Amino acid sequence: MKHTSGQRVLVSGASIAGPAVAHWLDRYGYTVTVVERAPGLRPGGQAVDLRGAGRTVIERMGLLEQARELALHQRGIEWVDADGKVTVRMAADAFDGEGMISEIEILRGDLSQLLYDATSPRVEYRFDDSIETLDEHDDGVEVRFRSGAEARYDLVVGADGLHSIVRDLAFGPERSFVRPLDCYTAWFTAPAAPELDGWYQMHNAPGGRVASVRPGRDLSESKASLSFRSTPLPRVDLAAQRQLLAERFGDLGGRVPWLVAAAQTAPDLAFDSLGQVHVPRWTRGRTALVGDAGYCPTPLTGLGTSLALVGAYLLAGALADADADHDRAFGRYESLLRPYATSCQQLPPGGVRSYAPLTRTGIRLQAAAMRSMLHWPLRSIMARQAAKAADITLPELGANLR
């Protein structure tokens, strides 16, 4: 294998896909810099699933036991009506721990911190900065940062999410690749809700509205979300986002007013549209996309984290096995990952319509469908969705690890 020391790679994004690909590139001998527009690691966030092949990648990193220690302790998911009465309940051990609540669920911020801690001794992190321009040449990519700094890299990896800067600069505008699902979600931390008794509770209301709350790892807090269906909205600032949530959910009762009030003061409120990313080819020249930047499946699939971890593993391994020939490596990355990504991007039956029904009749039908999923013959539908996470054989790439 060609010696890769001296090969410099810039990774954009320090959430999950970025530190994951940095981990593997560093172990294959590359010199890696991760740039992140936020001033530090983004705290908070909802739970993400470590399932299937994604869990295998974490295990190969040597981080599985630490991830288990950080996992949330949840009994499962339950849907409740306006009075708080449970209409459907799915335990965490349903579908062998690979159902809607997986065996290992970890807060996004905790997983990000775990990956950062594992890589930061050897990987350079540049926070509070971002890529402003990319100028590719035959022997490298000249990068100018928002801070005004300039540097040259052999490769650039965009791991910067749904609204990827790298994808915009190297592949084209967001509108060419992001398919909106006409649904918006706000994620935030709320005070503890001890009455949850370990369950992740979800409430559907007419108008395509969903309110949910789950236990946090810290006993003093819970993790909440408010979602609603809507055609594309203009981007607005944080104050306007909080006001929009108050307006959309202001007529509902039960626990919803408490959640809306928590959203008004939550320091970690994250509000965004749901969308899938479809890029015909994830590489161009010396630039590659990994994770949500290239193939976001949306949170509705429960497979985004697995897909990001697997993509990071395959991209770095393909580079190592190709003697640093990025053209050959990128071709293998595409061929290995594309079938898995295509499968992971298939939405569960009903998609957004099932997640956020518009009418009371639709809500009743949703509850009936979820109850049926727990029993034969419809149980097989949920089982197939859960099985997608493991539907890839991970090759043992890049034998020369350091």
CA of residue 382 relative to chain centroid, distance? 20
CA dist 299 and 181 (Å) reads 11
pLDDT at 98: 65
Under-50 pLDDT residues of the chain = 1-3
pLDDT at 1: 40
Determine which helix (DSSP H) or strand (DSSP E) holds 204, and give its type and residue range: strand 199-205
Architecture of domain 8-76+105-177+276-348: 3-Layer(bba) Sandwich (3.50)
Cis check: omega of the bond before 377, within 30 degrees of 0? yes
The model carries a pTM of 0.93
CA dist 309 and 58 (Å) reads 8
pLDDT at 349: 84
pLDDT at 2: 45
Q: What is the CA radius of gyration of the chain?
A: 21
pLDDT at 136: 97
pLDDT at 348: 87
pLDDT at 5: 56
Among 188, 185, 223, 252, which Cα is nearest to 77's?
Answer: 223
